[in-house]
Structures are given as structure tokens and as C-alpha cells.
A and B are shown apart, each in its own frame.
Chain A
Amino acid sequence: MENKLYVSMSPHIHGGDSISRKMWDVIIALIPALLVSLYFFGLGSLLVTSVSIASCVLFEYLIARFLLKQESTLRDGSAILTGLLLAFNLPSNLPLWIVVIGALVAIGMAKMSFGGLGNNIFNPALVGRVFLLISFPQQMTSWPLPKPFNLHYLDAATGATPLSVMKSSRFDRLPDMLDMFIGNTGGSLGEVAAAALILGGLFLLIRKVITWHIPVSILLTVYIFTGILRVANPEVYADPLSHLLTGGLMLGAIFMATDYVTSPMVKKGQVIYGIGIGIITVCIRVFGSYPEGVSFAILMMNGVTPLINAYCKPKRFGEVKKK
């Protein structure tokens, strides 16, 4: 045969889905929240976000190119996503050099040292965030107050966030529920706008990038758990709805916990994972010394994921029951 044919195993066609499609979908889903944050935190938000994305991309490129000597994997968009998510977890008045350190930890320590996308055990953006939280507790916990078209950056006015208010049980000082819903409260730059995050989540659901299992099980667990506490003692414990709308819960439940690589693969396992995150989050928030626990909760459950994967098997077709 002059014209040599290609021979390969079936299937001979592919569905056309790709990593970059999924990653870009997530990035698109984050845009509404980004816009809200640009509106409320202005310049600071813009600076932190761009520096975070740029340094994540740069570090991934440098590490892949010069340390691992592999082909660069930038095209799949996962570095951009990590940068964006990292920024979303930072206060908008954070000095830029700290942001760069966060990016280095996220990409270098949490992602590339495991062998790149797909091999990491922990969510890179969260590792970056928690690293910064522990290393620079002061800068990481002074959150600027929202102010439309804020042009202050490092010198932005700071104040208490709803979470710290809840921690001290002074519920009369909690902002309006509506403000919390649209994001008009203090907090990390991407986590405040619950409405925008939910919108992004719906987009991901429609595009079938994520399924409902993880977010719903987390939110429901938090709601029920805090609800029980509230009923037990309304003096000390905040109402469940404010728990849902404050802090990084929405961001965590919809975008961080659903990270493919670090969450369980089987639906049953995903529900267990979600419940775990919910319980740990509430425990840290209510009983722990940190006002916020979502990041820690997700990282802890990331660590449990391999175990969940090993024990939660999908239902096999025609499984013969062992007696």
C-alpha cells in the first residue's frame, strides 16, 4: 500500500472535551464575582488579581521549563485558574510581594512538586492561601471595607467582617442579609459576592463541569449543623443563613471543593466529602479560634480523598451480592 493507513484501537472518535474547555468554563464562571469585587474593592482588587494570575502563570512556566524540563502545560488554563482562585481568597489590600509568595507556594509547592496538574493532593490555591494566613496573619486578616470604585489600595479603610462579628456573637452588628448576598461586606476579594458566585455555579452546572453533589452537600450540612446550634442557643450562635452567606463558604463550596483533582471521583464519595467539609467548617468557625474554617476544612478533606476513592466504588453493573 502506497498510502499507509493509520491503525489504532477503537474507539476511533473522541467527544472533543478537553481540560482547557473545563478550566476556561470555570474561569468564565468566576467573572461575575470578579466584577462585583472590582466594583466594591476597586484598585486593590484589580492589582491583587492581576499580580496573582501573572505570577502563577510565570512560576508554572519557569518550573515546567527549567526545573522539570517538560513541555509547558500553560495552554490548559489551570495556572490562570489557580491564580484567580488564589486572589479570590486574599484581602484586596494585601501587599503585592505577599501575593507573589502565595503564588509561588501554590504553584511550586502544592502543584508542580507533585508532578503538575492531576497529581497534586491538595488544592493549590488553598495551600497558597493557608500558607499566607499562617505566615502573615496580620496582613491576611485585616480586610478592607467595601466602597464602590475604591481607589485606595494599601491604605484602604479596614474593618470587621461579618465572620468576626459572628464569632463575637454580636449579631445586631451583622450587616444586612441583602448586603451579604450581593457582596457589600468586608472580606477576601472574591468571596463576598454570594449572588455572583451562585450565578457562576449555575453556569458550571449547566455546562456539566461540576455536579451538584459537592456544593449542595457542603451547604446543606453547614445549614443543618448551624441550624441545630442556633436552635440550641440563639444567644451564642448565629443563624444558619448568615453562615451560608458569609466568609468563603460559597466560594469554597462551589469553586474550591469541586476542584477535580483533589475531590473524590464517585458521587457517593463526593457527598461524604461534602458533609465532611461542612462539619469541619462549622466546627472551626464556631468552636475554633479562627473565624473562618472553609480553607482548612477543604484541605483536610483533600487529604482524605484518596481514602474515600479507595472505598467508595461506583455501583457495578450486575453486581453479584456476596452473602
Chain B
Amino acid sequence: MRTFSMGGIHPPENKISAGKAIEQVPLPAQVAILLNQHSGAPAVPVVQRGDRVKTGQLIAEAAGYISANIHSSVTGKVLKLDEVYDASGYRCQAVIIEVEPADEWTEEVVLNSTLKRDCTLSPEEIIQKIKEAGVVGMGGASFPSHVKLSPPPGTKPEVLIVNAAECEPYLTSDHQLMLEKGMEIIVGTKITMMALKVNRAVIAIENNKPDAITLLERLAIPYSQIDVMPLAVHYPQGGEKQLIEAVLGRHVPSGALPVVTGAIVLNVGSIFANYEAVQKNKPVIDRVVCVTGKSVKKPGNYLCRIGTSVQDLIDFAGGMPDSTAKVISGGPMMGKALINTQVPVTKGTSGVLLMDGNEAHRNEVYNCIRCGDCIEACPMGLEPYLLMSLSELSEWEAMEKECIMNCIECGCCSYVCPSNRPLLDHLRVGKFKVGAIIRGRKNQ
């Protein structure tokens, strides 16, 4: 079974919500649509307080190249433009809309669910449509897709890799999406290949989803250019660099863009969004979020509108258990702990994970016993124990020499440390500081 070569871990999978059919969450009374749902510059609102907006209508425009459009996910009246807490606990601009019970879609959106296979648009038109629809990476990093699909001059993409590894424990939204929208994903892949002008695509799926692998393999038979590749269950298989290595056997040189290896990696959710954007003219206004956790009453995969609060989602999944001590947006390895459940769902929210007190707590920290487990586990070949002590000593230059900027913040090191050392916490501080130093140097 193919996988990446260095490090990695095998956390318990805990895919509690696997195989649960996607359910539509009823429209909430109010949505808060954040303007910074993507990496890059926040979008600029184009509606005003009191405006009535339709579902799918543009409410904020991309500001600059690395940015993305944002559309209204509901029909209703704009209550206000205000700041709300986002997943990181900082306040961020959002458009708050009071929802009307009946959806009224913008005209151009095709609402039927019949499959539309053919696409006669040119690559530029496809990318334009994807850009207009505001598609971003739906796996969590939320990098605008149209930027990814327009690689910088001088690089030549050869392969499209569809990231369907879903290596995070607990999460199942991509898995279920593949099971239910398999054909759309295949067509989406085809369209994305046309946009990139490549003639090979690999859909990479971790081996713990055999049903999705068989299904997509069968659906992909007519498309000789699309391969489905099962990968070993190995965290962080879905990391961009790890995935490229697993699929192509090529290493992304440190400091370079992944595209120099000829590969473009897109999350399977984004591929589906591409399909909807190009074939159905539907912007990203909803997504599948899996609500999961050992104590959740009704774990499952829920299709909800962007801007629905996490609380609404949890209520739909049977309410918040009293024992809940931590709510995580995303998976347990890389997700963000939320400060409260009023935080709205964004394009990058792949799951909501509830943890009870025992699971949520960190253990007592001891001295490093230099066992080297963290080095073994690091998929980037770093020495987390060393980087952590350097960070504690504020030795930023030394950290830079020890390649701190290569860290992908996968968390394998903290996961394995027998002394429960908060390695990644310190590494993040160091990475931030070193990043600032490097930027400062460049600006000089």
C-alpha cells in the first residue's frame, strides 16, 4: 500500500459517523456569514444593512488576488454588518442575515440534481466560473481554488491529485460525499483537469474507506485518465506534501511551491464545489459538516448552509451533551477548539467534534527523556524536542537553521510524546517568530 516515507502516526480512527446518509439541516433563523472564510484578504461586502438578498447572491467581493467571493447562503434581510467571533476566537467582519423560511434562488442557479456530464467551456472560462462561485479548499486551509488552478508562470502541472484521504480521525464528511455524489465528483475531476490542462488525475483515498474506493473505481471506468488510488491509513496522509509523495513519489523541495513537482492537490469537497459551480452555476453556499464525538446523540453528516451556527448544528445532532468540555471545528489533530458554539460554519468547516472532560484534557507534562519518538513521528524530518527547547529559550535564529519553517503543524510530535510535552504549542510560537524575522529580512 502506498504511503509517504517519513514519520507519521496511526491514531485510532473513531469514524463514528461513517456511513450516515447526508441529512439536510433546516434553515436557521439567522446566519452570520464571515468575510474571512478563506486564506488571504477578507472579502469586501457589497450589500448594506436592510438589503434583501436571495440565496446565492453575491454579498462580498474578493479583495485582491488571494481572496474569494462570498455569497448569501439564504434568502432574507441583511440585519447588520458586524463583527462576530470566528473559530479562532478573534472578532471578524460578518454579514448577518435574518432568514426567510422560503428559499428564493438567484436565476442562474440550476436547481435540479440531474447529472450534467458535458462541459464545453475553455479552461479560462472554467476558472472564471470557479472564481465567481468563491470555491476554496474545503479541507480546512481554505486556500482559494482559482489561485491554485492558475499556477505561476514557469511551472507546468502534470497531474491533478484529488485529496480524499480524510486522514483525520473522526471526520467522515468527505467519505460520505464520495458515496453519495460519486459521479459528480468524477465529472468535477474531469472539469478541473480541463481547467488545469492536464491529462491525468489521481483520486487518493485512504484504505479505510473501501466502499468509496470501489464505487469511484467503478464510476471512473469510462474516464481512462482518472485513477483511483487507495493509500495506507497513515496520518498525515492528507497533508499536501505527504500526499504528493505517496502518490507520485516526489518530494516537494523545502521552501518551494508544491506545483514544482507537477502536482496540483485539491480537496474532494472542492472538486464537488467545482462541479456545482461550473455545471450548475451554484456558488458555495452550503457544505457537508460531520458532527461527531463519543457522546453525541446523533452523530452524522449534515448538509448545512454556510453561516449556520455550530450550536444549530449540534442541536440538530441531538443537542450538546452536558459532559462536553471542548468543541472542535475540524478534526482532533489539526482542528481548532472553539471558545463558544455561536461560531458560524464556514466553507472550511469539515466537522464539529465534541469532546468530554476526560478526552479534552491534556496530561501532566514531564521532562523530555530524549526518547526520540517525536523525531520518528515527524513527517517532515524535524527534531521537535530540540525546536521546543530553542523556542523556550527564544533562539529564533537557531530555530530557523533547524528548519522550523518546514513544520506543517500536523501535531504528530505532540501526539506521540510520552512526556506529554506541548511540542507543537512551542513550535507554533517559534514558527510565527521566525516567519516574522524572515519577512522582515525580505522587506529590507
Contact = CB atoms under 8 A, between A and B. Distances in A.
Partners in one complex: yes
Interface of A: 1, 3, 5-15, 17-19, 21-22, 73, 76, 115-119, 260-261, 263, 265-266, 313-320
B335 A12 contact: yes
A14 B416 CA distance: 7
A9 B336 CA distance: 7
B326 A6 contact: yes
9 contacts: A8-B326, A10-B333, A14-B414, A14-B415, A17-B416, A314-B381, A316-B406, A320-B253, A320-B255
Given A8-B362, A73-B366, A118-B370, A317 B381 contact: yes
Shortest 7 CB-CB contacts between residues of A and residues of B: A118-B367, A11-B411, A265-B372, A316-B381, A318-B254, A260-B371, A317-B380
B169 to A, nearest CB: 7
Given A19-B366, A22-B371, A119-B367, A6 B361 contact: yes
Given A6-B325, A116-B367, A317 B241 contact: yes
A266 B375 contact: yes
Interface of B: 6, 9, 11, 89, 169, 241, 251-256, 322, 324-328, 330, 332-341, 353, 355, 359-363, 366-373, 375, 378-383, 385, 402-403, 406, 409, 411, 414-420, 422, 424-425, 428
Contacts of B424: 9-11
A13 B418 contact: no
Contacts of A115: 367
A260 B418 CA distance: 12
A266 B355 CA distance: 35
A10 B420 contact: no
Given A117-B369, A260-B372, A316-B403, A13 B419 contact: no
A118 B254 contact: no
Given A11-B333, A266-B375, 20 more contacts: A5-B324, A7-B89, A9-B424, A10-B332, A10-B334, A12-B328, A12-B337, A12-B360, A14-B414, A17-B417, A17-B418, A18-B418, A117-B367, A118-B370, A260-B371, A316-B382, A318-B251, A318-B252, A318-B253, A318-B256
Contacts of A5: 324-327, 337-341
A7 B372 CA distance: 28
A211 to B, nearest CB: 9
A218 B59 CA distance: 69
Contact of A265 (B326, B328, B375): B375
A115 B89 CA distance: 38
B380 A15 contact: no
A22 B367 CA distance: 14
B254 A7 contact: no
Contacts of B382: 314, 316
A19 B382 CA distance: 22
Contacts of A317: 6, 241, 251, 254, 379-381, 406
Contacts of A13: 11, 169, 332-333, 359, 415
A268 B9 CA distance: 21
Contacts of A18: 363, 418-420
A261 B418 CA distance: 13
B6 A320 contact: no
A284 B337 CA distance: 58
Contacts of B9: 15
A19 B369 contact: yes
Nearest to A305: B370
A266 B327 CA distance: 37
Nearest to B235: A11
Contacts of A266: 372, 375, 383
Contacts of B339: 5, 7
Contacts of A320: 253-256
Nearest to A313: B383
Contacts of B418: 17-19, 21-22
Contacts of B383: 265-266, 313-314
B336 A10 contact: yes
Nearest to B325: A6
Given A1-B340, A10-B336, A318 B366 contact: no
Contacts of A117: 366-367, 369
Contact of A318 (B11, B371, B406): B406
Contacts of B420: 14, 18
A12 B328 CA distance: 9
Contacts of B372: 260, 265-266
A263 B371 CA distance: 9
B432 to A, nearest CB: 12
Nearest to B371: A260
A234 B419 CA distance: 50
Contacts of A116: 367
A15 B255 contact: no
A44 B443 CA distance: 73
B369 A9 contact: no
